[in-house]
Structure 1
Amino acid sequence: MRDSQYHAIIVGGGLVGASLALALSRAGKRVALLEPRPAQCNELEQGWDARIYAVSPANRRFLEGMGAWPGMERIGIIAAMDVCGDAGGRIEFSARDADADALAWIVENRWLQAALWRQLADSEVDCIGDCQAQSLSTTASEARLVLDDGRLLSAELLVGADGANSWVRGQLGLAASVKPYGQSGVVANFTCEKPHGQVARQWFTGDSILAWLPMAGNRISMVWSTSDPQSLLELPPEALADKVAAAGGHQLGAFATLTAAAAFPLRLVQPEAVVAERVALVGDAAHTVHPLAGQGVNLGFQDAAQLAALLQAAPDCGDWMLLRRYQRQRREAVTTMQIGCDSLYRLFHAKLPGLPWLRNTGLSLTNCCSPLKRRFARQAIGY
């Protein structure tokens, strides 16, 4: 027996799934959002979240348009970038190079989640958090989702927003190329002795990539992509702070650890397709990228924004031609970012003779070329 019918069912209520559910609801669509672990909106100011995101201007506008942008008191600003190679190369660019106020804003995961879920609570979205999906099937006219409590949901469209290990993608039998980088991204937050000046700093060391991202106040968030995460995870807080400060040449003075270090494996995921009969994939279910450019969540938000725009006036949200259009619209941006990040990663990890000189000279020459710097800056903010 069919219990509920929707225009769209979204499996996964993380940042991308929640933003898509809210955008479709605001467009007048009947939406169900399946998320067994809804975001918690209380005690947000207790401590700091080690998971942070650099949100681009375009995606800030997307979230602000739905009233889902957090308050500014906990948000950092990236006004400039300072990137150093492993043999003296360097490039610096700023928001001014792109005629913008900021390259990105640094926001903690839980504050973004809370802002979205507060809006969802006041929306018409049916948030289902007391059960999980059990099986998925599609016909030419609808997608059907059976929950583990026996309920049957149907919709014109089902969206998989359930992460890199997507259950939806597996149910569809969509093959995905998965290429491990052999590294983990280690994250932690620190207070710093000297002001960061709203500058994001990054170092390519030859065997790892270290980034310091400016948070609110005298704080930074670290992302250290390394093949030896345990050497960082096992350090006591004081030793970790000293090691991270030293790795950046003590540019911001002494550090003190705010959050314990955590690690996540890095891999490139490229599904053979991101649409199927009555189904679309968004966010990490549709693609992952190396975090060296900080663009993973931005690609996901743009998936949500563009899919919602396509479906806004659609009489049938699962129309095959619309889904194919979504796939075509997103392919160039996603592929360009994946290839760019993967190529940069491989360039700075290759051990060929003479290559360190070549790549560092390239960085420094680019730093002297204003048109190229403006192009980098505009790409960084999503133009």
Structure 2
Amino acid sequence: MDNEIWQAVTELFFLLEQPDLPEEEYQLFFERNPCVFDVLGFDCFAPFDIKSGNKLPFDEERGFTPMPDFICGKRDVEEAVVFEIKRPDETRAVTARADGNRAKLRANIEGYVSQTCEYVKSIRGNSDARKAVCQILEMNRIRSTSGLLLCGMSDDNDAPVVAELISEREPRIQYMYYDKLYDKMCDAYARNRKQYAKVERVYEGLEGVHLTVMASISPEQLHGRAYLIDIGEARRNRVSLYVTDTAYIHLLDADGHPLEVKIDVEFGVPQIFQIEFSNDPIVGFLSILHNNKEIINMQRQDGYQNSLSMENMVIGSDRDGQLGACCIIGTTLLRYRVLGIKEKLDFLGWLINESETGYGLEHNGTQYMRRNVDGNFIQESGEARPILRETLHYSRTKK
């Protein structure tokens, strides 16, 4: 579930950075990331737009067929929730009255709220509609119906005034902002991860180590087992990334016990590998991601024991400078602290752009770089020094 939540956090972060997306894109976000409904406290959900195939019966009293974006369910309290999605760039939800009285909802927001309320009333007052919802959501019964409207950003609106105006409506609906949804997703992701500290609304990284290596791996290797990254001691406290028919993460814990995890890499194009860890006796952890998908998550609280050291770290070969990988290594970042959530996502966006436009250092299986005492990656021997390339894509290299 953590990985699913992280993918949802990532997608929502980048969606909110793109202006003028059609409303359909935000609905598709929810369909691609069902874990969001779980974070919001729903046991079940289903889309009810015209493309979904799910239908509610015609409401003869109101003269329309309700087509909400989603209907969600809370089985324990037998509640159905109409979930309507609007765009995050709906700004200024309230406006002052011309007569000087208290603010009111703007016309567009008033329309969204009224539409949500009408859908709720239709389901509440129509037994056939409730039966249809029960059948689709696999609920035994619906005792109550409410609404949830997702719209705008809290920074662009007078949230307390909106909340007060909405609270006076019948039926009951909740008004949620996209940035608050993003905050909820970050809360859910960070809940069991001790490497973050929440400062106001932002999760910052604590003490530890962060390493990012962006590299393209050649489909042709000199060695049957070729190392791209190797960190730590020879027989314990070690993290290695090596290549055979595909890529593998190989771990040795504090007692030398091994763990190996396969990674499905695409050869010849940039891949992003990220390793974060802390040796703290209480909140220590190890997290390894490939292309923003977490491959390994080991927490001290769950029994993980390791004392990784950066004293011996090599990129492009094993720790002894042997068994090197044929690869082009682009951006390499080493920080002696964990990256915060927003910081990591901002960096990911930069890496994605850099993967298309950046240059790299090509290693031929005998070349490598070693971390020096200053924390930089160097190679003093000319023969073992990698070659500068203007691209990270093997198909675009000119030799």
TM-score (normalised: structure 2): 0.24
Q: Give 1 or 2: higher helix fraction.
A: 1
TM-score in terms of structure 1 length: 0.25
- Higher relative contact order by CA 8 Å / sep ≥ 6: 1 or 2? 1
Which has the larger Rg? 2
